[in-house]
Amino acid sequence: MKTGTTWLKALCYNILDEQEDDILASKNPHDAVPTLEIAFFQDQVQQLLLNPPPPAGRSRLLHTHFPYGYLPEKVRSSGCKLVYVSRNPKDTLEDLCRNPEEQVRKLASFLGRKTSVDVEKVLWRSNLNRLKELEIPNTIFFRTGTVGDWKNYLTSDIAQRLDDLTRDKLQGTALSFDDE
């Protein structure tokens, strides 16, 4: 979960899934929310995009690494919801770790589920420790999800250089990260 993508996929899936079944108990979040680039290399993009819409009560979720500006104009102007993962390059998603209930409510509101989402159920179903313990494939995507875990991997010199580079690259944007 170094980038937070696995956790974010699980959270979005569980926010938008109004069914009683717990699909992530048997399916990895990366399988539940397909990645366009992987579908492209497996010649499944047409199938993925042209399939009939999901049944009532479910939403279609897709993942991509494409920057916003590279998405087709049709996608950008379609009214679909785009969630962008931005994280401290040294670490995990701090805001989600510090106050997951509030962040899930914000995400649910953005995704159009203002009052109908059961935050505790979403957090339980998306819990990294729970997902790691399930017998599902590709659990290599799950790490600790612990803020500050970078200290176990980076020297203080490397961390400072990364902080400086990040500050320079993000100058003039609304993005900032805690220098924990």
Residue 71, both tokens: 């998405």
CB 64 within 8 A of CB 39: no
Residue 98: which of 166, 155, 151, 145 has the closest Cα? 145
Residue 44: which of 55, 53, 35 has the closest Cα? 35
Catalytic-labelled residue, pool 65, 106, 121, 167: 65
Catalytic residue at 63?
A: no
Distance (Å, whole) CA 52 – CA 41: 21
List the catalytic residues. 65
